[in-house]
Amino acid sequence: MIEVKNLHSGYGRIPILHGINFTMKPGEVVGILGHNGMGKTTLLRTLVGQIKTTQGRIEFDGRDVTFASPSERARAGIGYVPQGRDIFPLLSVMENLKMGEIMRGGESAIPEMLGHFPVLKDLLERPGRGLSGGQQQILALARCLAGRPKLILLDEPTEGIQPSIVDLIAEKLGELKASLGLGIILVEQDIRFIRQLADRVLIIQKGAFVAEISPDQLYDREVVDAHLGI
Amino acid sequence: MTANWQGNGGLVAATVLGLVLLLALPQIVDPVMMIELTSYVIMAILALSLGLIWGYGGILCFGQSAFFGIGAYAYAIAVINFGDSTIPLLLSIIVPGLFAALLGYFLFYARITDVYFGVITLTVTLILYKVMGATSGSQYVIGAAPLGGYNGIPAVPPLNFPGRPELALSFDGLFYLSGVTLLAVYVGLRLMLKSRFGQVVVAIRENERRAELLGYDARFYKLATFAIGGAIAGLAGCLFANWGMFISPDVFGLAQSAQVIIWVIVGGTGTLLGPIVGCFAIQWIATKLGAQQLLNANLVLGTILIGFVLLVPKGVVPTIGDALRRLKFCPYVAPLVEQRRVP
Ligand SMILES: Nc1ncnc2c1ncn2[C@@H]1O[C@H](COP(=O)(O)OP(=O)(O)O)[C@@H](O)[C@H]1O
Ligand SMILES: [Mg+2]
């Protein structure tokens, strides 16, 4: 569903990504692990078009989207929940959700999302900034899913969030993966979370993938130390 | 729960209040003041148009009077040629709307940002001032309408009942028509801002990048907002040409451009009521100041503006709205769009 070849990008003249290669099948969950500053966020931003690709190619659903605008990629079915969540602070929860679904025709996905994430039901009138970090994360996820994407990119969804909400998010993502065949690229520092969801794990260092491991290997202290050298 | 004064109840109340004022004012206000009042109402429509694109669209336009002037000229030129005012009225909306769309296309699609956008729109306005000012020779005629350079176009025929040029609008009629137009534009914009289109516009103002990442082409939405604002300003320009039965390049001058911005700043961005209130208040004060000799009017107005920027940075209406909300102890009952100063 997505095929990335020799991807290069960066900020201004500073190159960050140096030849990223990977492919994903529909419904696959790929975890990306790496230290701070290794280029995880930059990779996701490049995939959604927020940062320009300087070299290489991104194909999504058989279509070359390397130079497509962010809004075109979103409409093609790439959803993105960024680090920091990016809720519209002054729009209500409901308005935030509506922003997520507008571009898709057919039936509204919002009732379904409220079914998945009932905590939001009591918050619909609240402005986004009136939500806790965990609630914002759930809203960001629900808003993204309301657009019925085929692939979602999650940037450290568990960062700064209480464990009960982390578990809820993990559970829901597991369900959605199974029921919708949703593809997920999951950038995480929380090894337990990645182990729960990922089909395979890519290790990123200095803007390139250096290894691919299976989630089971994350139980192995030596492997973890070797790649993430704590 | 959100049926506060910004909800539908508020909209109905505002409409009723507007209609009552419209009917009552001519009864209680003296005729000279009615002439003034009519121009306030017309200018309030212009202020609303900037309130839309700046306060909600987040588009910093310093040249809103360009569309106002283009609307006025389009009407004047067309009505002199056609006699009947129906098509000229439509042209006064369509021509500036298209002009805004064209200008917006180049600016938004080139990703011109805030301050540059302001500078360019102001420059365009001042260019129009020069260009229209340079049309004084007898060779500058469009059909039967001489453009007249800095002297402008005198004796602009008034609006008439559609298809019946002999049924011309009286001056009282112009007050009612302007008032109804102001109300209609206000209500129309309120409804538009509640629609999906309006929601997206507001979301883009809040976080353009995020809106794009959710699949919205921000350029298109800004362009549409800008064109709507241009069309509304043009309609105000048509009414203005009716008010003075005259139009000159002064509408494109720096003073006119600055005034609109001041009205919106004083009244408050991010609301629709604010620009109307600011426009009425400032014009009323300016008239009063003009009638006395003690103080220099511009000096006083300048002081008021600086005072507002420093002391009431959100503008009158949002500040009062905040106070009311705080009194009700409802931290989460925020209006659809929180009033916020747009840089
Ligand atoms: N906006 C930016 N401008 C310039 N450099 C940046 C910017 N954002 C991140 N970087 C740099 O890019 C590198 C990769 O950052 P990032 O992708 O955010 O890493 P990660 O998400 O893996 O922690 C870092 O060296 C960081 O300093
Ligand atoms: Mg990061």
Q: How does the average pLDDT of chain A come out, rounded?
A: 90
Chain A positions in Cβ-Cβ contact with residue B200 (cut-off 8 Å): 99, 102
Residue contact A70–B212, C-beta within 8 A: yes
SS3 helix, strand, coil % of chain B, rounded to 5?
70, 5, 25
**pLDDT at residue A165, rounded to an integer:** 87
Please state, for a pLDDT cut of 70, what percent of chain A lies above it: 97
Q: Phi and psi at residue B240, in whole multiples of 5°?
A: -65, -40
Q: Residue A104 has what pLDDT?
A: 58
B322 — contact with chain A (CB < 8 Å)? Answer: no
Question: Is the whole model's pTM more than 0.90, yes or no?
Answer: no
CA B306 to chain centre: 22
Instruction: Compute how many other C-beta atoms are within 10 angstroms of the C-beta atom of residue A33.
Output: 25
Q: Do A127 and B216 touch (CB under 8 A)?
A: no
Q: Which two tokens stand for residue A226?
A: 């070797």
| Probe site for chain A from B213, B314, B330, B333 (most A CB atoms < 10 A) | B213
CA gap B154, B150 in Å, rounded: 11
Which residues lie below 8 Å from residue A204, measured CB to CB, with a gap of 6+? A32, A33, A34, A38, A39, A40, A43, A210
pLDDT computed for residue B5 by the predictor: 44
- All structural domains of chain A, each given as residue ranges with its CATH number in brackets, are 2-87+150-227 (3.40.50.300)
Contact list in B for residue A69 (CB cut-off 8 A) is 212, 217
Which-ligand-closest: CA of A45?
Answer: 1
Q: How far apart are CA B226 and CA B50, in angstroms?
A: 9
Cα A41 to middle of ligand 1, angstroms: 7
Is residue A105 very low, low, confident or very high in pLDDT (cuts 50, 70, 90)?
A: low
Which pLDDT score, from 0 to 100, does residue B192 have?
95
- One-letter amino acid identity for B139? Q
B200 contacts A96 by C-beta, under 8 angstroms: no
- Tell me what pLDDT residue A102 has: 64
Ligand 1 proximity of A201 Cβ (cutoff 6 Å): no
- CB hemisphere CA count around B116 (13 angstroms): 8
Q: Looking at residue B333, what is its pLDDT? A: 41
Give the whole-angstrom CA distance, residue B315 versus residue B52: 15
Substitution site in A36, A42, A187 for ligand 1 pocket (most atoms within 8 Å of beta carbon): A42
User: C-alpha angle with apex B285: B280 to B289, nearest 5 degrees?
Assistant: 150
User: How far away, in angstroms, is A202 Cα from ligand 1 center?
Assistant: 18
pLDDT at B286: 86
Averaged pLDDT for residues A160-176: 88
Quick one: pLDDT at residue B245? 92
- Whole-angstrom distance, CA of residue B328 vs CA of residue A204: 52
The pLDDT, as a whole number, for residue B73 is 97
What's the CA gap between B132 and B321, in Å, rounded?
A: 42
Backbone angles phi, psi at B118, to 5 degrees: -60, -45
Residues comprising chain B, all counted:
343
The per-residue pLDDT for B27 is 86
If contacts are CB pairs under 8 Å, which of residues 184-203 in chain B contact chain A?
196, 199-200, 202-203
Q: How far apart are CA B32 and CA A43, in angstroms?
A: 68
Per the CB < 8 Å rule, is B203 touching A88? Answer: yes
* B199 token code pair: 């929601």
Separation between Cα atoms, residue B65 and residue B43, nearest integer Å? 10
Q: Which of A8, A9, A13, A16 to probe ligand 1 with, by most ligand atoms within 8 A of CB?
A: A16
**What's the pLDDT score for residue B317?**
82
Of A100-109, A168-177, B7-16, give the lowest mean pLDDT range. Answer: A100-109
Helix then strand then coil, % of chain A, to nearest 5: 40, 30, 30
Question: Tell me, what's the pLDDT at B183?
Answer: 95
pLDDT tens-place values along chain B, 343 residues long = 333 444 577 788 888 988 998 888 888 888 888 999 999 999 999 999 999 999 999 998 998 999 999 999 999 999 999 989 999 999 999 999 999 999 999 999 888 887 899 999 999 999 999 999 999 888 898 888 889 899 999 989 999 898 888 888 888 899 999 999 999 999 999 999 999 999 999 999 999 999 999 999 999 999 999 999 999 999 999 999 999 999 999 999 888 888 899 999 998 888 899 999 999 999 998 888 877 777 777 788 788 888 888 888 788 888 887 777 776 544 444 444 444 444 4
| Ligand 1 touching residue A230 (CB < 6 A) | no
Contacts of A82 (CB under 8 A, 6+ apart): A41, A44, A45, A140, A155, B213
pLDDT of the residue at A107: 80
Mean of the pLDDT values across residues A110-139? 92
Q: Which of the listed ranges A104-108, A124-128, B48-52, B299-303 does the model predict with the highest average pLDDT?
A: B48-52
Residues 6+ apart with CB under 8 A from B9: B3
CB contact under 8 A, A102 and B332: no
Q: What pLDDT, on a 0 to 100 scale, did the predictor assign at position B179?
A: 95
> Closest Cα to residue A100, out of A118, A90, A117, A88?
A88
Q: Which residues of chain A have a CB within 8 Å of the CB of B209?
A: 50, 70
Half-sphere exposure for B325 (CA within 13 Å, toward CB): 19
Rg (chain A; Cα; Å): 17
* 8 A C-beta contact, residue B333 and residue B324: no
- Burial (CB count <10 Å: 0-12, 13-18, 19+), residue B294: exposed
> Which residues lie across from B142 on neighbouring strands?
B145
Instruction: Tell me the C-alpha distance between A42 and A53, whole Å.
Output: 11
Other C-beta atoms lying within 10 Å of the C-beta of residue B339: 24
Distance from chain centroid for Cα B89: 17
Sequence-distant (≥ 6) Cβ neighbours of residue A111 within 8 angstroms: none
Residues composing chain A:
230
Tell me the sheet residues that pair with A202.
A32, A212
